[in-house]
């Protein structure tokens, strides 16, 4: 009777949470990894204070879970626990709550049900954002030293999860400028900075790659209307595939009754507006606002309780909740079982084991190098039997954490399969896999130099059409040792221009990679484009049959 009463008291809250948790556990154990999850799993094998794309929280959580279970369940178990913790904390933030209403709001948010178990940085960000708001409310009520330290800790953990967390702190301060008069708030900021300093130092030591990528490299060359349309539709789907529009409306019209609720409202409106404006610079992923789960839940709940006009519309959610559960159920089943073969809806979560096995059998023990994909080598290494994969990026493709790991050193001088050969690489052979045809080139010996970077003193130059300009480049040898070369065909340094979506042929120089590393400072003569306009210049390395690789940051060239 005691156990029965535990699960049925307080409107079956504990039973609801148990079912939610069990469904997430089942989903986590029987769904194959998505591409980015496999990439973060590789993170976990190279623990560091920072990574090219994200702070280290996701890697730490995966490392802890995978130490217990060497499968998908281990990769995700930490996320499932944090997902449940997010719901529990959010529930505690709602005063005079109506549990039935709370359940309905949760059930119409499909993303939390399906995506809450994924091993991605968003899940710890959502949890630590909820924790941050929980501690911030306590700090408003009592500015004790305990709450000051907890506030600092929650902010630091949020930042260690994903950089977007800084927006929540910023809009919290805007909602309550009196914080700027509170000494202990400044103490919390100082403690946060100290706790976050190891990551800041990692960024400094690696020339701030995350800022370079997120603030510059991700920007589109021209604005496209579909960026904004996709963002708006994505937000509606994120907060409920069927009822997201209604949940957001509830949150927007919630009457504010405290400084804490004002912070929730400012964060909700501010973050959504910030990323809406960001669509004018490039594509914005819908999940970037998922950290608003707790503010939206609390505001939507309070809005329904306080406004009679909204309370009458609650019947709409009562009808949409079962419909959403049907959609979520179909999604859950599809994530585990590919019952629609040939339909490409997230094909990355199906047939990975068979695909990796086929690749490994064909490779016959040789390492596999994937072109312009950080996901495929990660998937291959997770699902193969200790197979070695690596990603090489061409001059036009985005960088990844593979540009910082020393995996290449294990490949030098060996026979390697370059898989998914493109960009005029000769095709040695091809074969079929459960994921389609694979073309490859057999390279023997293999050499590439992703960790060699050329740093120009100028990030922007203005030149005349068709002129020649010399660039002084500092050569940064990320291997910190002499690099071997192919004696028959040594790699050489080159450069390439792009303009918007136009890629110009790369140009080789006669400077070999060994001479460049030996000199440390080199001068490259660059022939400028003939037509006026704004171009992007990158320096690169030509190694064997590989396309010229990504070996420098972008230099803006204005041809007048």
Q: What is the DSSP string of 204-255?
A: HHTT-HHHHIIIIITS-SS--HHHHHHHHHHHHHHT-TTTHHHHHHHHHTPP
Q: What CATH number is attached to the domain comprising 532?
A: 2.60.40.1930
Q: What is the mean pLDDT of residues 372-387?
A: 94
Which of 283, 312, 336 represents a domain boundary (last residue)?
A: 336
**C-alpha to C-alpha distance for 391 and 300, rounded to whole angstroms:** 44
**What are the backbone dihedrals phi and psi of residue 228, each rounded to the nearest 5 degrees, phi first?**
-70, -45
Calpha distance 404→2 (Å, rounded): 55
pLDDT at 181: 96
Residue 399: the pLDDT is 85
Whether residue 530 sits in one domain with residue 407: no
Does one domain contain both 262 and 174?
Answer: yes
**pTM (whole model) above 0.85:** yes
Domain presence at residue 90 = yes
**Looking at the structure, do residues 40 and 170 belong to the same domain, yes or no?**
yes
Taking the C-alpha atoms of residue 23 and residue 83, their distance in angstroms, rounded to an integer, is 12
Query: pLDDT class for 4, splitting at 50, 70, 90?
Result: low
Structure tokens at 57: 């929280």
Does one domain contain both 482 and 368? no
Question: Does residue 306 sit in the same domain as residue 439?
Answer: no
Is residue 341 in some structural domain?
Answer: no
**CB within 8 Å of 313: residues ≥ 6 apart:** 246
DSSP 463-489: E-TT-EEEEEEEEEETT-SPPP--TTS
Q: Indicate whether 92 and 239 sit together in one domain.
A: yes
- CB within 8 Å of 532: residues ≥ 6 apart: 465, 559, 560
* CA-based R_g, the chain, Å: 26
- Looking at the DSSP bridge assignments, the partners of residue 534 are 558
pLDDT by residue (tens digit) across 335-369?
Answer: 999 988 877 788 899 999 999 999 999 999 899 99
| Residue at which a domain ends, from 336, 363, 390 | 336
Q: Which residue has the higher pLDDT, 436 or 214?
A: 436
Specify whether the CB–CB gap between 45 and 378 falls below 8 A.
no
Nearest to 399 by CA among 217, 245, 177, 247: 217
Q: Is residue 343 a part of any domain in this protein? A: no
User: Which pLDDT score, from 0 to 100, does residue 213 have?
Assistant: 76
Q: Note every long-range contact of 321-330, with CB atoms under 8 Å and residues 24 or more positions apart, other chains counting.
A: 321/104, 321/107, 321/108, 321/243, 323/242, 324/107, 324/108, 324/110, 324/240, 324/241, 324/242, 324/243, 325/107, 327/110, 327/241, 327/242, 328/110, 328/113, 328/114
Number of structural domains in the chain: 3
Residues 33 and 123 occupy one common structural domain: yes
> Is residue 178 pLDDT above 90, yes or no?
yes
Contact 199, 262 (CB under 8 A): no
Domain match, 238 and 147 both: yes
Give, as one character, the DSSP assignment of residue 503: E
DSSP per-residue codes, 403-427: GTS-GGGGTTTS-EEEES--TTPPP
Give me the mean pLDDT over the 231-236 stretch: 95
Q: What span, in angstroms and rounded, lies between the C-alpha atoms of 556 and 508?
A: 20
Alpha-carbon distances, residue 211 vs 140, 165, 352 (angstroms): 32, 15, 33
* Burial class of residue 290, CB neighbours in 10 A (0-12, 13-18, 19+): buried
The answer to the question of residue 189 being in a domain is yes
Check pLDDT > 80 for residue 221: no
* Same domain assignment for residues 32 and 144: yes
- The residues near 508 (Cβ < 8 Å, ≥ 6 apart) are 492, 494, 542
Query: Residue 93 domain-assigned?
Result: yes
Task: Tell me if 342 is assigned to some domain.
Answer: no
Q: Are residues 165 and 289 in the same domain?
A: yes
Model pLDDT, residue 2: 65
The alpha helices in 337-396, defined as continuous H runs, are 352-363, 375-383
- Decide: 401 and 43 in contact? Cβ < 8 Å: yes
Last residue of a domain, one of 406, 423, 443: 443
Q: Is the pLDDT of residue 7 over 70?
A: no
| Choice among 7-16, 221-230, 352-361 with the minimum mean pLDDT | 7-16
Region 359-388: mean pLDDT is: 94
Q: Has residue 432 been placed in a domain?
A: yes
Sign of the CA dihedral running 77, 82, 84, 85:
positive
Q: Are strands 460-463 and 555-559 parallel, antiparallel or unpaired?
A: parallel
Q: What is the mean pLDDT of residues 137-151?
A: 97
**C-beta atoms surrounding 12 within 10 Å:** 15
In a domain, 347, yes or no: no
pLDDT at 251: 95
Is residue 299 within 8 A of residue 251, CB to CB? The reply is yes
Tell me if 174 sits within 8 A of 266, measured CB to CB: yes
- Mark whether 125 and 236 lie in a shared domain: yes
Q: Which three-class secondary structure state does DSSP give residue 346?
A: coil
Phi and psi at residue 468, to the nearest 5°: -110, 135
Q: Which has more confidence, 505 or 190?
A: 190
Determine the Cα–Cα distance for residues 299 and 262; give it in Å rounded to an integer: 10
364: containing domain: 352-443
Same domain, 285 and 403: no
């Amino acid at each position: 009777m005691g156990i029965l009463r535990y699960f049925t008291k307080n409107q079956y809250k504990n039973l609801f949470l148990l079912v939610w948790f069990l469904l997430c556990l089942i989903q986590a154990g029987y769904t194959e990894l998505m591409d980015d999850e496999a990439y973060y799993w590789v993170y976990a094998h190279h623990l560091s204070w920072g990574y090219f794309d994200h702070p280290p929280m996701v890697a730490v959580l995966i490392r802890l879970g995978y130490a217990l279970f060497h499968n998908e369940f281990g990769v995700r178990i930490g996320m499932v626990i944090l997902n449940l913790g997010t719901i529990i904390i959010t529930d505690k933030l709602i005063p005079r709550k109506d549990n039935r209403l709370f359940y309905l709001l949760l059930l119409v948010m499909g993303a939390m049900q399906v995506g809450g178990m994924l091993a991605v940085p968003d899940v710890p960000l959502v949890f630590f954002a909820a924790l941050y708001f929980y501690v911030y409310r306590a700090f408003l009520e009592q500015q004790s030293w305990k709450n000051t330290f907890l506030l600092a800790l929650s902010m630091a953990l949020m930042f260690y999860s994903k950089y977007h967390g800084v927006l929540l702190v910023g809009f919290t301060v805007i909602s309550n400028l009196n914080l700027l008069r509170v000494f202990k708030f400044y103490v919390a900021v100082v403690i946060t900075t100290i706790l976050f300093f190891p990551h800041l130092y990692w960024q400094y030591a690696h020339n701030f790659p995350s800022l370079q990528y997120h603030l510059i490299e991700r920007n589109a060359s021209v604005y496209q209307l579909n960026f904004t349309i996709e963002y708006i539709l994505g937000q509606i789907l994120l907060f409920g595939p069927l009822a997201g529009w209604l949940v957001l409306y509830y949150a927007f019209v919630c009457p504010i009754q405290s400084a804490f609720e004002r912070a929730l409202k400012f964060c909700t409106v501010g973050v959504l507006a910030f990323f809406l404006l960001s669509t004018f610079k490039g594509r914005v992923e819908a999940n970037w606002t998922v950290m608003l789960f707790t503010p939206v839940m609390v505001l939507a709940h309070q809005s329904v309780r306080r406004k009679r006009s909204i309370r009458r519309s609650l019947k709409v959610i009562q009808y949409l909740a079962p419909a959403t559960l049907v959609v979520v159920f179909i999604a859950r089943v599809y994530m585990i079982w590919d019952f629609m073969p040939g339909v490409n809806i997230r094909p990355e979560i199906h047939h990975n084991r068979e695909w990796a096995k086929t690749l490994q059998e064909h490779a016959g023990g040789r390492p596999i190098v994937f072109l312009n994909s950080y996901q495929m080598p990660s998937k291959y290494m997770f699902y193969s039997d200790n197979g070695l994969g690596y990603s090489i990026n061409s001059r036009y493709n985005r960088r990844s954490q593979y540009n910082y790991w020393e995996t290449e050193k294990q490949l030098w001088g060996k026979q390697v399969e370059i898989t998914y050969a493109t960009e005029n690489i000769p095709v040695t052979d091809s074969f079929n896999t459960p994921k389609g045809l694979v073309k490859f080139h057999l390279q023997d010996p293999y050499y590439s130099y992703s960790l060699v970077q050329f740093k120009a003193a100028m990030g922007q130059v203005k030149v005349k059409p068709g002129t020649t300009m010399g660039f002084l480049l500092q050569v940064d040898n990320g291997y910190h040792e002499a690099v071997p070369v192919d004696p028959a065909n040594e790699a050489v340094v080159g450069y390439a221009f792009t303009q918007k979506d136009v890629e110009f042929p790369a140009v080789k120089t006669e400077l070999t990679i060994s001479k460049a590393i030996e000199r440390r400072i080199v001068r490259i003569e660059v022939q400028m484009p003939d037509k006026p306009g704004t171009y992007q210049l990158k320096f690169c390395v030509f190694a064997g049959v590989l396309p010229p690789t990504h070996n420098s940051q972008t230099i803006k060239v204005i041809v007048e």
